[in-house]
Amino acid sequence: MSSEGFLKEMQTIGEKFLLKLQKLPKADPVEIVSFCVVLLFIVTVLVLMIIACSCCCYSCCSCDGRPDHRRRKIQVRPIAH
């Protein structure tokens, strides 16, 4: 998908979302609850992605951007007799 197609698709999704928000006060309770559930799902996925990315970055890099060599696992080999 080209960048122009992607931007057009994002604009279409944004317009549909705004239209849905405008119609929400007049909607029936089932539609309001379903909209809230979908919105909660999207927010949960985004928060989990941010947490996963931050944990991954923290585990392989220290705060100043340098790798933390103290956390590297060392393999222990048996001593040959």
This prediction has a pTM of: 0.54
pLDDT digits (tens, 9 = 90+) for 9-67: 999 998 998 898 898 888 899 988 998 999 899 999 999 999 888 877 766 665 555 55
Q: Is 74 exposed, middle or buried, given 0-12, 13-18 or 19+ CB atoms closer than 10 A?
A: exposed
The closest of 38, 36, 14, 40 to 27, measured between CA atoms, is 36
Is residue 71 very low, low, confident or very high in pLDDT (cuts 50, 70, 90)? low
| Structure-token pair, residue 32 | 């309001």
